[in-house]
Chain A
Amino acid sequence: MSNEASRGAAVSQVSGRAIPLTGNDIDTDRIIPARFLKAITFEGLGENAFADERASAKAEGRVHPLDDPRFAGGAVLLVNKNFGCGSSREHAPQALRRYGIRAVVGESFGEIFAGNCIAVGMPCVTVSAEAMGALQDVAAAETGSECSVNLETKTITFANQQFPCEINEGARRQFVEGRWDATDVLMQAGDAIGKTAEKVPYFGGWA
């Protein structure tokens, strides 16, 4: 949790090199294999993002996109459908963020994953399948061109092309208003929490 994204900082635009990572239904077990859940902190997770897939790519003489020098230092991850499905482990977004990813652009996302990404200050935005095809093509072809995700205008700019993107409005406002670290915002409810607790019948033990 405590990473260099400072709590309360607005996230309205993310720019950087793009990493195309193709495939549907990439689950959080693949993003961060379970054995890395045995630690009691998130520290050091960045280097283990996609550990098994990177190792098997290497063993088979392929280069995994996260190890591809063309995408080194990438900050925008380009993915397909249902990315981050499966286990609720926050270790998955933590690993990606600690690797250096600052925004994930996909066709759709596992819901818990997308929620966890909010908590680490890393927006997930969606684009059409067509747009994603184009974005991934550009990323694979261009070297060094910057991809920029703008949450104010909900547009992605990449190699002089523009693509509209979507994000849940509540989440978008959390990012642009710097409210993505929820604790302080939730604390502000103060007494209203206790009032709701009083009217929920089971909460006080059916008194």
Chain B
Amino acid sequence: MGKTLYEKVFDMHVVRPLSEGQYQVLVGLHLIHEVTSPAAFADMRERNLKIRYPNRTFATQDHANPTTSIVRPYADAENEAQVAALEANVDEFGVRYFSPTRGEQGIVHVIGPEQGLTQPGMIIVCGDSHTSTHGAFGALAFGIGTSQVRDVMATQTLPMSKFKVRKIEVTGKLKPGVYAKDVALYIMQKMGVKAGIGYAHEYAGSVIENFSMEERLTLCNLAVEAGARCGYVNPDETTYEYLRGRPYAPKAEAWDKAVAFWNSIRSDADAQYDDHVIFAGEDIEPMVTWGVAPDQAMGIKGTVPQLADYEEHERASIEDALAYMDFKPGQKLEGTKIDVAFIGSCTNGRMSDFEAVAAFLKGRNLKVAPGVKALVVPGSQKVRAQLIEKGLDKVFTEAGFEFREAGCSMCLALNPDKLEGRQVCASSSNRNFKGRQGSPTGRTLLMSPVMVAASAIKGEVTDPRTMFEAPAAAAE
């Protein structure tokens, strides 16, 4: 009987069994950032520990830095202190740091792939739940807590139990105006945010095979929102083409060895799965969320569900979500006024995301609606530099978007980019939790970057497809 990629990679990394069902596993790549690492470093110091393999840990700053200016010290004293602590720690412990002064900084889940650090067959961890993103390369990648950050630094290992593996196939083709983000939100709407608990998700099927690496990254980014610690796609030519030539990718002879290894870890054709679900790509519409969990989502042409659609024990939570959002069962979301539009984050802050938005805006003299604050926040300084090189920053600023420095920004609002009061934000990020974007009463509608852009232009939630064939587009 064949094996899944999950089993092959897990087994290869086992150092020893610990107790029933639990193993000590080797970590191949450890990424750290300023928010979840300081207490881990303090504990290392207190316990007199050294980093066991300092060349397998890489650091950057992303959550705390402002996006208006990278000049230090940062205006917010706590943000500054957190970043300064990280910089002192990486110096003391000898960790490679992707610094803004070298133009290498960015969201940890954007720069791992960008630098070629993220590779198939690795076990990758980071003190951040969206580490699942890196699974796009056929790695087992998952978020850990601060105590585990310390354990990985001290031992390069973690205690782990095996997950079950669920294959999620998306067959056929996507319709125009439907993006990887919509696929992820659709899967969640169908399966719920608890479906993935105890599972690793293997994404397969023609839609996913035809996805670019960046689309796979968006999909795997949201695996964790479906409850799965990790999600992955089997590596293939698309993966290798993306990796070739990146700074940390294998070179020359090592490249051939690497490709042979990567091919060997793909799930076998006769691998057994603990569960298998299939969705048809053609069924997927552009998606938008109406509630305070990412599975509280619907097709843009749909209506907010009725309480009767839910089991009795779930209704209180649904009512609570609707009260918070101020939506009613049965209403449409198209036409809902928005105050803020945010394009960025580790879900949708990569080149292809901004290129799709720029293609939508370009040459049509579209302007952000009056009263709407619209932000374009690149996922990394390299993405930002490329956008400028291609002149796309101008496309955004001419349309009335602010073009910011790289970072997490309003995905989590640890820096000064925040919603105010009950503002409604059309957001390309990944969490619509209560208070997530910096105001305890702020409201988040998750959607694809192109839908965010369309909504920014109209000043209300808008199906981007209704704007695709505007005659002015021909003027290009």
* Docked-complex contact B19 and A201, CB < 8 angstroms: no
* Docked-complex contact A193 and B26, CB < 8 angstroms: yes
Measured CB to CB, the nearest residue on chain A to B437 is A34
User: Cβ of A111 < 8 Å from any Cβ of B?
Assistant: yes
How many interface residues does chain B have, given as a range?
A: 35 or more
* Docked-complex contact B53 and A29, CB < 8 angstroms: no
A87 to B388, CA, bound (A): 32
A155 to B440, CA, bound (A): 38
Q: A52-B435, A81-B194, A119-B147 are in contact. Are A2 and B43 (CB under 8 A)?
A: yes
Q: Which of B120-128, B351-359, B455-463 contacts A (4 or more CB under 8 A)?
A: B120-128
A111 to B188, CA, bound (A): 17
Could you give, for residues 158-177 of chain A, a 1 whenever the CB lies within 8 Å of some chain B CB and a 0 otherwise? 00000000001111011000
The majority secondary structure among interface residues of chain B is mixed
Residues of B within 8 A of A134 (CB): none
Measured CB to CB, the nearest residue on chain B to A26 is B317
In the complex, what's the smallest C-beta–C-beta distance from B144 to chain A, in angstroms?
7
Could you give, for residues 1-41 of chain A, a 1 whenever the CB lies within 8 Å of some chain B CB and a 0 otherwise? 11000000000000000000011110101100111011111
* Docked-complex contact A183 and B151, CB < 8 angstroms: yes
* Docked-complex contact B146 and A23, CB < 8 angstroms: no
Interface residues of B in 91-110 (CB under 8 A from A): none
Q: Which of B38, B143, B155, B317 contacts A24, CB < 8 Å?
A: B317
* Docked-complex contact A87 and B155, CB < 8 angstroms: no
Q: Which of B156-164, B214-222, B268-276, B372-380 contacts A (4 or more CB under 8 A)?
A: B156-164
Q: A82-B194, A111-B198 are in contact. Are A90 and B79 (CB under 8 A)?
A: no
Residues of A within 8 A of B49 (CB): 183
* Docked-complex contact A119 and B145, CB < 8 angstroms: yes
A4 to B89, CA, bound (A): 25
Most chain A C-beta atoms within 10 Å of own C-beta, residue among B35, B85, B253, B413? B35
* Docked-complex contact A203 and B161, CB < 8 angstroms: no
User: Cβ of B22 < 8 Å from any Cβ of A?
Assistant: yes
Q: Which of B53, B129, B313 contacts A112, CB < 8 Å?
A: B129
* Docked-complex contact A182 and B151, CB < 8 angstroms: yes
* Docked-complex contact A86 and B431, CB < 8 angstroms: yes
* Docked-complex contact B24 and A189, CB < 8 angstroms: yes
In the complex, what's the smallest C-beta–C-beta distance from A151 to chain B, in angstroms?
14
User: Cβ of B205 < 8 Å from any Cβ of A?
Assistant: no
Could you give, for residues 140-152 of chain B, a 1 whenever the CB lies within 8 Å of some chain A CB and a 0 otherwise? 0011111110110
User: Cβ of A185 < 8 Å from any Cβ of B?
Assistant: yes
Measured CB to CB, the nearest residue on chain A to B194 is A82
* Docked-complex contact B85 and A187, CB < 8 angstroms: no
Q: Which of A37, A186, A197 contacts B35, CB < 8 Å?
A: A37
Q: Which of B8-16, B170-178, B340-348 contacts A (4 or more CB under 8 A)?
A: B8-16
* Docked-complex contact A82 and B197, CB < 8 angstroms: yes
A41 to B58, CA, bound (A): 21
* Docked-complex contact A206 and B52, CB < 8 angstroms: no
A195 to B13, CA, bound (A): 10
* Docked-complex contact A90 and B145, CB < 8 angstroms: yes
Interface residues of B in 59-89 (CB under 8 A from A): 63-64, 76, 78-79, 81-82, 85
Measured CB to CB, the nearest residue on chain A to B21 is A170
A1 to B43, CA, bound (A): 7
User: Cβ of B235 < 8 Å from any Cβ of A?
Assistant: no
A82 to B193, CA, bound (A): 9
A52 to B324, CA, bound (A): 14
* Docked-complex contact B193 and A25, CB < 8 angstroms: yes
Q: Which of B12, B24, B46, B438 contacts A2, CB < 8 Å?
A: B46
In the complex, what's the smallest C-beta–C-beta distance from A91 to chain B, in angstroms?
8
User: Cβ of A141 < 8 Å from any Cβ of B?
Assistant: no
Measured CB to CB, the nearest residue on chain A to B436 is A29
* Docked-complex contact B15 and A189, CB < 8 angstroms: yes
Interface residues of B in 174-233 (CB under 8 A from A): 193-194, 197-198, 227, 229
Q: A186-B157, A193-B26, A202-B121 are in contact. Are A89 and B227 (CB under 8 A)?
A: no
A52 to B439, CA, bound (A): 10
Q: Which 6 A-B pairs have the closest CB atoms?
A: A170-B22, A119-B147, A90-B145, A116-B145, A206-B254, A88-B143
Binding site for B on A (CB under 8 A): 1-2, 22-25, 27, 29-30, 33-35, 37-42, 52, 55-56, 81-82, 85-91, 93, 108, 110-112, 115-116, 119-120, 129, 168-171, 173-174, 181-183, 185-187, 189, 192-193, 195-197, 199-203, 205-206
Given contacts A38-B414, A93-B145, A193-B26, 18 further A-B contacts (CB under 8 A): A1-B146, A24-B314, A29-B433, A30-B434, A33-B440, A34-B412, A42-B39, A55-B440, A88-B36, A120-B147, A173-B20, A186-B151, A197-B26, A201-B257, A203-B56, A206-B250, A206-B254, A206-B257
List 15 contacting pairs A-B, 8 Å CB cutoff, sorted by A. A22-B316, A25-B193, A29-B435, A38-B82, A42-B146, A85-B227, A88-B36, A88-B127, A88-B128, A186-B24, A187-B155, A197-B26, A201-B258, A201-B261, A202-B28
